[in-house]
Chain A
């Protein structure tokens, strides 16, 4: 059978390449372990995904069969938010290979664009979002079988919109975060955004004081606005068709298609530049005169050795120059905002933090630790060829990883402090018992994460580029282990707070966490001491994985 030529041939070649890479990866024990982990992680996600599918199918069936299709946006908006926000909030789970590696081949732009979209589709967020959309399709079809072709078309259009938008957001964020000037502009926007927190409290109070008709009017306006946005348009396209208003439904679909095209065009502007060989480095112009190189004295960390301080400084400099990492690290603040706005929209009924505001700070702190796992569990990922330096130098790995852990710990402290300020502005100052319990919880959970993270950084490393956003490979073994550790920590945390609330004394939670930290800190130190031997034993795997050209 002749193999396809042209663009299809190239797409087939890329698919074959990915397949060969997968098969060749199975030659090593680590590769087999990756496969097992991938299967388990996929099953875990599938469990959630099929749960979402069932829920979406049930609700959509109910809404359509009961003649209430106007409630369909309540299903499509969460899918939309999940699809767009999850990859940014949980970059540790994002598995999106970098398609720009393919640019060396005579790939035409159309093929490059399609491959980029295809890679995006294999992201967990896309897969889970698609399952939920399939659930909606299933529910609508069971309720009204004649709607199937139309609903399928609408759902496919909506899925395409989500896929294109996700890639657009990633591509443009990466662009804006790549250079100092644009990064500074984004930084100013973010600070303004933080300052606007102060307006949220008064706004909510103002809305609460409004008489019912005024409130209803506000909701009516919000409903009109959402109807002209993609989830609303997709829901309207199905809803109108279910009422036999085909032309109105068709116009909504056309509008959705137009928005997809517009977003796709914005993505095209970015990908076209990448395709043409854009270089987003921060190269300065050639110096016109002699620049004086100031003597750059390194940082000093009291108590710790010079090599620990050097690694600490290197890590902080690396992270401060990585826009994508900075954005990931400020995600806890966004999460608080999402919950707060959610509370506003549903008049304080839906937000967990609004019902139990004392849990807002522990929640934000836990999330601050969660986003850090992205770094902690793959500490050497960004070092690439620098890994050879670590092995060639006389510094021990316990010192190298201690320096890295201290840098991550400093970021966690800063992030937690920022979260405390945000919680105070949004929900009021947390109770002192809650604050102490939260810090005690971090004292237990952070060393535990560092312990497992240090081991996985050596056992299951993956090279990563701090300059790109989203286009990263992740180790499935790491994802699985990280998931397990987080489940344990969250379970312990919830249990501790539940017991404390049951006895109406939150100081109990603080005591439980302090007792647990008496286990996790010595465990961390014990494992840290053994890292030198493990790193030497694993040097070939580490160097082969991280120092590839």
Chain B
């Protein structure tokens, strides 16, 4: 039996002109969940996460974060969440330490605490060895780590991550995963979108799949697997044998109805 959800949406929709990017999405994410939000390109993942973090206004529907209505209590909500958006939200012409100290104070930390946490985070993320380097000169992976550090400097209860592992090497990804799992073990909630299904499968306890703006599946991995198998039992051409568990990729492809178009050719290409 779950207590009240930490993130909940009711009829969340977003239209861009005639296009309905997100269509009546009802999400429930509970405290301590590592929640993966999946969908094909253009399905509405980033639009949803932007609405959940206050970066985009919904066309209709309601968002509650930690029991607070986001539209009426935006500042109180933002104080308790951390965000790594698609563009990483960095200030390129600051050093890593300056940026983290700045982020900490913007989230209400005092100067000393912000500076101390900034130093600890830089050390943890292995970014402390070039203190004078500007953020704009960081590699993509370093920027991802810094963006994550900025999102957690105030100790948020919920962390929203949009594609946190995109363009990140295995070593950096390991550092990020270690930090995220540490947060989950301390009771935080993490909501992430990712295209890397293996990572989601390994990290996330719960998953939702959005397709063409509509939520088509939601639950724990086992619940999703059971749901998919109940609809179409495994077997057949190239499908796993009944003794094998469906992977998240297979669940995903069945839910969104995707096929690999390997038979198509671009005759002019190399």
Contact = CB atoms under 8 A, between A and B. Distances in A.
Interface residues of B, number: 51
Contact of B93 (A283, A294, A298, A466): A466
B145 to A, nearest CB: 15
Nearest to B122: A293
A287 B103 CA distance: 26
A296 B97 contact: yes
Contact of A282 (B54, B111, B137): B137
B55 A392 contact: yes
A293 B87 contact: no
B70 to A, nearest CB: 11
A63 B79 CA distance: 72
Given A281-B137, A284-B133, A306-B105, A297 B112 contact: yes
A196 interface: no
Interface string A422-443: 0000000000000000000000
B88 interface: yes
Contact of A392 (B85, B123, B133): B85
Interface stretch (B124-132, B168-176, B183-191): B124-132
B54 A391 contact: yes
Interface string A375-397: 00000001111111101111110
A21 interface: no
A191 interface: no
B35 to A, nearest CB: 18
B43 interface: no
A298 B90 contact: no
A307 interface: yes
A214 interface: no
Contacts of A101: none
A310 B91 CA distance: 13
Which of A321, A386, A539: most chain B CB closer than 10 A? Answer: A386
A540 B50 CA distance: 10
Interface centre among B91, B93, B97 (most CB of A within 10 A): B93
Contacts of B101: 296-298, 310
A298 B55 contact: no
B137 A283 contact: yes
Nearest to A389: B89
B92 interface: yes
Contacts of B54: 391-392
Contacts of A393: 78, 103, 106-107
16 contacts: A295-B119, A298-B102, A310-B105, A311-B106, A314-B94, A317-B94, A317-B98, A318-B91, A385-B89, A388-B85, A389-B89, A392-B83, A394-B76, A394-B106, A396-B75, A539-B55
9 A-B pairs with the lowest CB-CB distances in the bound complex, closest first: A388-B89, A389-B89, A310-B105, A385-B87, A394-B78, A386-B91, A392-B83, A296-B97, A293-B128
Interface of A: 281-284, 287, 290-291, 293-300, 306-307, 309-311, 313-314, 317-318, 321-322, 382-389, 391-396, 466-467, 536, 539-540, 543, 547, 549
